[in-house]
């Protein structure tokens, strides 16, 4: 849970936990343990690199909602807009232009929101 909070932020995790039901509790426990406890907590890559790879995979698979969440998480992982742009260029070549085009649109919207939000510089 500590890694999940570090990457996604307390507000996101608090919302997810508040919306937890008996139906999805086992799923929430699974992703917290497997994704955050095992994968994201491994020492071989820092969160920045895991963030870049995760964004590229989500973009390639067209998982737009998760993609937007992980782009927002770059505020915590240290992945820059340039890092994400380069990852999405790889997506264009290796997974297809339509996937990258959609992901770039989402990234622009998310970064615009992040850069104009209440905590923006």
Beta carbons of 91 and 56 less than 8 angstroms apart: yes
- Which pTM does this prediction carry? 0.91
For the chain, counts of helices (H) and of strands (E): 8, 0
Q: What is the mean pLDDT of residues 109-117?
A: 91
CA distances from 29 to 10, 45, 117 (A): 17, 23, 31
Report the Cα 19 to chain-centroid distance in Å.
Answer: 19
Nearest-angstrom CA–CA distance, 70 and 53? 10
Distance CA 104, CA 56 (A): 11
Domains of the chain and any CATH numbers: 1-44 (no CATH), 45-121 (1.20.1290.10)
Q: Can you give the pLDDT at residue 121?
A: 45
pLDDT band at 20 (very low <50, low <70, confident <90, very high): very high
Check pLDDT > 80 for residue 97: yes
Average pLDDT estimate for 27-37:
95
> Do 13 and 5 contact (CB within 8 A), yes or no?
yes
């Amino acid at each position: 849970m500590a890694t999940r909070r570090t990457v996604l932020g307390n507000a996101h995790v608090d919302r997810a936990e508040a919306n937890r039901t008996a139906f999805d509790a086992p799923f929430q426990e699974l992703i917290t343990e497997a994704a955050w406890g095992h994968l994201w907590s491994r020492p071989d890559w820092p969160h920045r690199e895991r963030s870049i790879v995760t964004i590229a995979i989500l973009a390639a698979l067209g998982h737009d909602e998760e993609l937007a969440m992980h782009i927002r998480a770059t505020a915590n992982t240290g992945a820059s807009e340039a890092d994400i742009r380069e990852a999405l260029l790889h997506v264009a070549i290796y997974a297809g232009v339509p996937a990258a085009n959609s992901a770039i649109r989402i990234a622009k919207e998310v970064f615009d929101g992040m850069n104009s939000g209440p905590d923006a510089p």
